[in-house]
Structure 1
Amino acid sequence: MPHDLPWSALFLAAAMLWPPCTRRWALAPLAVAWAWALAEGVADPVALAWPALLLGAALLARSQAGPAARAAGHALFVAVAVLLFAHLLPGFHNLRVIEPAPLSPGAVPFGMFLNLDKPLVAFWVVLAMAPPMAAASARLTLSAALLACGAAVAICLGLALALGVVQWAPKWPPSGGIWLINNALLVTLAEEALFRGYVQERLSQRWRSRAWGGWAALAVAAALFGLAHFAGGWQWMLLAGLAGAAYGLAYRYGGLSAAVLAHLGLNVAHFGLFTYPMRAAL
């Protein structure tokens, strides 16, 4: 279908953010995705205002004009990022690829859109702020990801079972393929770029002279990640906060790649083995 074309280009653009040799060219397929989206009505012309604002935020945040200009750039980015994450900015007609339906008995209905707005945050953070993408070696990155993922699965899904938020429900529905691609290339990247690559990294730099700085930055980012899940109730905020702490550890020792892999691993375990996204009656 024509509407598939913007998302294929967007997936490619997100994948190109990872290798250093292709990162600088990632904006090319992103521009193609946006051109197709505009041509097919997935995005309206007004939506162009938001990447333009992000460009302005990057120029201010990286400028030599002084701390006031840089602070204004960061404030502008945070405001736009929050609105993009909440899908509150006009001009987007994101494609629904999974119609709402329970994935297992007793689950709340789950549906999914492919989003053109939220991934912009990941591109801004990776290209404008250049957070550490990996540890000094692939082995350290993978070790940090696996340890954090294992801890998150054991603690978060174990606690979710104890709280009655989920139950054991092994499955892999036909929609699992597009769910996995979207989660791997767009969802986890955008969320980890914002909360770990931006919030945790910026606070770590600000508090780097303090012995507690790195840990405080991790805790603040994890708490904000938990609060961002307020729609699921206190149980979901608690679980997300604990997961965010695990992702923060992965980021601290393995870079953004480790955080994304840990996040993806927990999401896959949750999707494939337990009630997803949660039980209908708590």
Structure 2
Amino acid sequence: MPGRSLRGDSMFVLCWAAIFLAVPVTWLTERRAIAVALLVIGYGAALVDGRLGAAALAAIVVLLALAYAVLPPRPPAVRRAAHAVFIVLGVALILHGVPGFHNPRVIHAERFTPDALPFSMYLNLDKPLVAFWLLLIFRWVRGPQNVTMTLVAGIGGWLLTAVVCLGAAVALRLVVWEPKWPTDAWLFLLNNLLLVSFVEEAFFRGYLQGGMTRLLDGHRFGKTIAIVVAAVLFGLMHLPGGGGLWVVFGAVAGLGYGLAYRFGGLTASVLAHFALNVTHFLLFTYPMLQPGTHAV
């Protein structure tokens, strides 16, 4: 990055190396102490690098307080209030609505194909906090954990969403077949797996769908209601970035991810989500065709 000092570059590398490593440790293991240590290193480096302002530090303090308030032996009313506050704060963090997080932009308005809209990408410090908080506190967020079912459900969810969502996008002339391997592909894929798919699935499927399933345990349609509600909320998350059409696409994709989570747990829904994004990115126009483009 032009103009950065050696010290700044060192803090940048340390920050993201620690945060990226913290994801698989938090997601796939029960080694909370190692995960917390990596997060302290990563966010400590971000603080030294000037990427965390006062509001960001306040949000982190609130998350720590909620971690104390949300678990027994705190009274049920306190725990419910803590969950409500977390949902509001979690949505704000996912949508980058909390100030003070100075996320570095690593892809600058790049066109991956000549007919595509320009695309920019940031490495986000705010959004991953939601998934780290959830996975470090609630074991049930992971859902079912069977290797065979995880693979079957994850691949099934990917194929279902790819056929429906990408098929509809092609039919509507939003994207066309454009296989590619851009220079920044490795960075896009790493970021999309660890800081996008993992985070969104932990919140929408693991926490919201998983939590509603627990609340509606014994209800005849409890699992179905949980899948649909989480999918609709996931779709609505896309409203600020793309309008009503992207809400529909997001909700439909959310149904596929929700089915993957129901039968294969968090890893299955992350697999389905990431595989769909990879298919879109590598094989079709990304993110979409410029208005008025008639590529063939």
- TM (norm. structure 2) is 0.91
In the alignment, structure 1 residue 127 sits paired with structure 2 residue 136: yes
3-state secondary structure, aligned to 1:94:
coil
Which of structure 1's runs of 4+ aligned residues deviate more than 6 A?
none
**Quick check: 2:16–2:42 contact (8 Å CA) kept in 1?**
yes
For 1:64-143, what aligned pairs fall within 5 Å after superposition? 64-133=73-142, 135-143=144-152
**Quick check: 1:144–1:249 contact (8 Å CA) kept in 2?**
yes
Structure 1: distance between partners of 2:231 and 2:119: 25
**Quick check: 2:55–2:98 contact (8 Å CA) kept in 1?**
no
**Quick check: 1:63–1:69 contact (8 Å CA) kept in 2?**
no
**Over the residues paired in the alignment, what is the CA RMSD in angstroms?**
1.4
> Deviation of residue 24 (structure 1)?
4.3
Residue equivalent to 1:246? 256
> Deviation of residue 112 (structure 1)?
0.3
3-state secondary structure, aligned to 2:271:
helix
> Deviation of residue 132 (structure 1)?
4.7
In the alignment, structure 1 residue 200 sits paired with structure 2 residue 214: no
In the alignment, structure 1 residue 265 sits paired with structure 2 residue 289: no
Over 3 Å counting, the alpha-carbon distance change for 1:247 and 1:209 in structure 2 is: same
Number of residue equivalences: 282
Structure 2: distance between partners of 1:249 and 1:281: 33
> Deviation of residue 54 (structure 1)?
1.1
Residue equivalent to 1:42? 51
- TM (norm. structure 1) is 0.96
Identical-residue share of aligned pairs (%):
44
Question: What amino acid maps onto 1:173 in structure 2?
Answer: P
Structure 1: distance between partners of 2:69 and 2:34: 22
> Deviation of residue 4 (structure 1)?
2.5
Structure 1: distance between partners of 2:217 and 2:282: 40
In the alignment, structure 1 residue 33 sits paired with structure 2 residue 33: no
Over 3 Å counting, the alpha-carbon distance change for 1:48 and 1:273 in structure 2 is: same
> Deviation of residue 63 (structure 1)?
3.2
CA displacement, residues 14-65 of structure 1 (integer Å, 9 cap, x when unaligned): 1211332434421111110111111111222442211211122222221333
Unmatched runs of 5 consecutive residues or more in structure 1: none
> Deviation of residue 204 (structure 1)?
0.6
Of 4, 12, 20, the residue aligned with 2:21 is: 12
**Quick check: 1:134–1:258 contact (8 Å CA) kept in 2?**
no
Structure 1: distance between partners of 2:29 and 2:111: 40
Structure 2: distance between partners of 1:190 and 1:141: 18
Unmatched runs of 5 consecutive residues or more in structure 2: 1-8
**Bigger CA drift: 240-249 or 53-62?**
53-62
Structure 1: distance between partners of 2:252 and 2:140: 22
Of 222, 245, 261, the residue aligned with 1:213 is: 222
